[in-house]
Amino acid sequence: MRLAAVDLGASSGRVMAGTVGPGVLSVAEVHRFPNGGVRVAHAGGSTLHWDILGLYRELLTGVQAAHKAGALDGLGIDSWAVDYGLLDASGALLGNPVNYRDARTEGVAERVLESVPARELFDVTGLQQLPFNTLYQLLAERDLSAAETMLLIPDLLNYWLTGVRGAERTNASTTQLYDVRSREWAVELATRVGIPPRLLPPLRDPGTVVGTLLPDLAAELALPELPVVAVGSHDTASAVVGVPAEPGTNSAYISSGTWSLVGLELDEPELGDAALAANFTNEGGVDGTIRFLRNVMGLWVLSESLRTWEARGTPVALPSVLAQAAEVPALSAVVDIDAPVFLPPGDMPSRIRRACAETGQRVPATPGEIVRCVLDSLALAYRRTVRQASELTGRPVDVVHVVGGGVRNELLCQLTADACGVPVLAGPVEAAALGNVLVQARALGAGLPDLAAMRALIRDTHELRRYEPSGREADWARAAARIDPKVVA
Ligand code: ADP
Ligand code: LRH
């Protein structure tokens, strides 16, 4: 079976051609294109958007190329979460989707929490507080009166491909408008906060067929009327399908890309007060699983640093700056990488230096020192989050799986093993595309009864790299105490 997996990350999109059969699983990149925010001015300021039409065009180019390389049997789309397009009653897109890093949501969550207590919101949705949850973004819209339907990014693209509107559950679970227990829209909550329930389209499960390519579109692209499958359309849900954990092992995962999503797979949501206080989330996974995790700021801080240096006319190549970072003494300076100051686009090197100065540490100067500080700080955040996940669920963690683009960062993988004090199993890089392809394959009749079978096939067909902790626990404990007075070294 040949399947196209469209995987749209916040920093790049790719179309992968997947092949699945008995004992066979591979994905080959056929088309990769950059993604990121596009700032557009208007009276009174500017808004950070996505270039949704550009992404759609690249998707079509990639699917065509994948089909040319070998006839396709289907396609599926996953993307970053929370963002959406609004359609009017005729199905036309109302405005360009806004990027979740835009400042329009400033103060919105705080206002909502004045009328709906955090405990109650968490009880219904199980979701972490992030300023850009879809709930807050919709409330930041100027005018919803012309809007008939809200479609999350993969659902919007699926609509353009098939003419069918809906909301796939794993991504719907990131909106903070979805009831984590009943697995239906939280209509009462939406009404209470002032979001018209008409915006929320019918829900569908991952692994169901959305529809087939619209005949005119298929003819224009010289493609057959392919089935379009709803995969785990939240990229992190597809990536977690692609985590090749052995059944019966005590493992945590880090889906490492623009964000680092750090947590465990559970059967039931964890909705206790301690999970709420630690700001963990219970996102919906494939096959009714729960992704109990926390967003760590991720490689965004590194890529934004590279962008800053390039804009200043002093570009730094990733491989060379990583080599320089590897030479910097470990834990010279660390910051709380999850601090809100690192969320919006901008000059990360200056923000890092300021955070080090404010905590009385040696201020990193060179790009190598800044990058080392970012990587040490990410590893420290992984340590904190893996430990919290384990404490909150009462489940030990003996191994940490790392998947996604961050697998290519060997220094970070080693630091992760050192900081967490357990081995890291790194790979596959393209876990989200693999998870996407596997769920499509099952929907189209390729066997693979459950997640365990899918993960066994990944283990059989993909090499993982193992990193052992180097045993400097006391150094990491002291570093943790430097940025968090509650942690005792
Ligand atoms: P997303 O899906 O969020 O766009 P990816 O999973 O593609 O993110 O991961 C992108 C990140 O992977 C980059 O920001 C970069 O830090 C890291 N990365 C990609 N290639 C390499 C490489 N060759 N060496 C080290 N890091 C890499
Ligand atoms: C990662 C991701 C993450 C969300 C964020 C918006 O790409 O989907 O899981 O929290 O983007």
pLDDT (0 to 100) of residue 488: 56
Respond yes or no: is residue 235 known to be catalytic.
Answer: yes
| Residue in this structure with the two tokens 């955090």, named with its chain if needed | 118
- Angstrom distance (rounded) from CA 40 to CA 240: 34
- Closest atom, ligand 1, to C-alpha of 319: 24
| 462 CA distance to ligand 2 middle (Å) | 25
pLDDT (0 to 100) of residue 487: 63
Tens place of pLDDT per residue across the chain (489 aa)? 999 999 999 999 999 999 999 999 999 999 999 999 999 999 989 999 999 999 999 999 999 999 999 999 999 999 999 999 999 999 999 999 999 999 999 999 999 999 999 999 999 999 999 999 999 999 999 999 999 999 999 999 999 999 999 999 999 999 999 999 999 999 999 999 999 999 999 999 999 999 999 999 999 999 999 999 999 999 999 999 999 999 999 999 999 999 999 999 999 999 999 999 999 999 999 999 999 999 999 999 999 999 999 999 999 999 999 999 999 999 999 999 999 999 999 999 999 999 999 999 999 999 999 999 999 999 999 999 999 999 999 999 999 999 999 999 999 999 999 999 999 999 999 999 999 999 999 999 998 999 999 999 999 999 999 999 999 999 999 999 988 766 655
pLDDT (0 to 100) of residue 210: 98
- Angstrom distance (rounded) from CA 132 to CA 171: 14
Residue 9, ligand 2, Cβ within 6 A: yes
pLDDT (0 to 100) of residue 483: 82
Beta-carbon neighbour count of residue 362 at 10 Å?
11
Catalytic choice (235, 338, 376, 418): 235
- Angstrom distance (rounded) from CA 128 to CA 281: 4
Q: Which residues line ligand 1 (CB under 6 A)?
A: 9-12, 257-258, 299, 302-303, 318, 404-406, 408-409
pLDDT in tens, 73-86: 999 999 999 999 99
pLDDT in tens, 353-397: 999 999 999 999 999 999 999 999 999 999 999 999 999 999 999
| Residue in this structure with the two tokens 């065509």, named with its chain if needed | 64
Structural domains in the chain?
A: 2-233 (3.30.420.40), 243-427+464-489 (3.30.420.40)
pLDDT (0 to 100) of residue 482: 87
| Angle at 11 (CA atoms; ends 37, 6), nearest 5 degrees | 110
Residue 82, ligand 2, Cβ within 6 A: yes
Residue nearest to atom 1 of ligand 2 (CA): 80
Residue nearest to atom 6 of ligand 2 (CA): 81
| 487 CA distance to ligand 1 middle (Å) | 31
Ligand located closest to 134 CA: 2
224: its two tokens? 């057959």
Residue nearest to atom 27 of ligand 1 (CA): 408
Residue nearest to atom 4 of ligand 2 (CA): 81
DSSP letters for 115-142:
HS-HHHHHHHH-----TT-HHHHHHH-S
Per the CB < 8 A criterion, the answer to whether 355 and 339 are in contact is yes
φ, ψ of residue 75 to 5 degrees: the values are: -145, 155
| 448 CA distance to ligand 2 middle (Å) | 27
Strand partners, 17: 4, 28
Query: Rounded to 10 degrees, what is the CA torsion of 417, 420, 422, 425?
Result: -50
Q: Which residues contact 144 (CB under 8 A, 6 or more apart)?
A: 86, 138, 195, 196, 199
Helix and strand numbers (H, E) in the chain are 18, 19
Q: Which residues contact 295 (CB under 8 A, 6 or more apart)?
A: 128, 130, 259, 260, 261, 281, 338
- Angstrom distance (rounded) from CA 53 to CA 47: 17
| 321 CA distance to ligand 1 middle (Å) | 14
| 43 CA distance to ligand 2 middle (Å) | 30
How far the first Cα of the chain sits from its last, in Å, is 53
- Interface predicted TM-score (ipTM): 0.99
pLDDT (0 to 100) of residue 484: 78
167: its two tokens? 């909301």
Q: Which residues contact 349 (CB under 8 A, 6 or more apart)?
A: 305, 308, 309, 367, 370
Residue nearest to atom 12 of ligand 1 (CA): 405
Q: Give the three-state DSSP class for 58.
A: helix
Parallel, antiparallel or unpaired: strands 227-230 and 208-212: antiparallel
Model pTM? 0.97
